[in-house]
């Protein structure tokens, strides 16, 4: 099952969280309720990161100063890795959603599968994850 934190609503402040790229973008802008919530989760050591999110954030960096700031935070977070089981779950999720008429970005499928496999809550602004959370994984 996929648990979600949408926007600045934190239902369970003690569960590990996989933060989606759109939340990190808001966080690095600062001065938003989302930034405050993510800061709290980071302080409590509840945030994890995966390769997909790391890639999406790093590929959008525009300056060396920004790169240092981002890397200082992201590269110190616990990292979760994809494995063969995660890829199988990802394929199942994607196939199930396509069968029901939904095409979801590849990156969101991977993030969702990682969260399900590692019992993590996804912190996101993206509505795709509601669809992913409805897929029953066998």
pLDDT of 8 higher than 90: no
For residue 128, count other CB atoms closer than 10 A to its CB: 19
Tell me whether residue 59 is in a domain. Answer: yes
Contact between 99 and 116 under an 8 Å Cβ cutoff? The reply is: no
* CATH number of the structural domain spanning residue 109: 3.40.50.1010
Range of the domain at 94: 3-133
Tell me whether residue 138 is in a domain. Answer: no
pLDDT of 9 higher than 50: no
- Banded pLDDT at 110 (limits 50, 70, 90): very high
Tell me whether residue 15 is in a domain. Answer: yes
Percent with pLDDT over 90 in the chain = 67
Render pLDDT for 43-61 as a digit per residue (tens, 0 to 9). 999 999 999 999 999 999 9
pLDDT of 74 higher than 70: yes
For residue 115, count other CB atoms closer than 10 A to its CB: 28
Tell me whether residue 108 is in a domain. Answer: yes
Q: How many domains does the chain have?
A: 1
């Amino acid at each position: 099952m996929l648990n979600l934190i949408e926007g600045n609503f934190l239902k369970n402040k003690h569960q590990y969280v996989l933060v989606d790229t759109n939340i990190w973008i808001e966080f690095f802008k600062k001065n938003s309720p989302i930034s405050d919530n993510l800061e709290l989760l980071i302080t409590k050591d509840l945030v994890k990161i995966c390769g997909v999110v790391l890639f999406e954030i790093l590929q959008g960096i525009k300056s060396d100063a920004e790169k240092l700031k981002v890397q200082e935070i992201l590269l110190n977070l616990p990292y979760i890795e994809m494995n063969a089981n995660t890829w199988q779950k990802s394929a199942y999720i994607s196939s199930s959603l396509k069968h029901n008429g939904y095409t979801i970005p590849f990156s969101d499928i991977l993030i969702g599968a990682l969260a399900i496999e590692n019992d993590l809550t996804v912190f996101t602004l993206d509505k795709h994850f509601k669809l992913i959370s409805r897929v029953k994984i066998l």
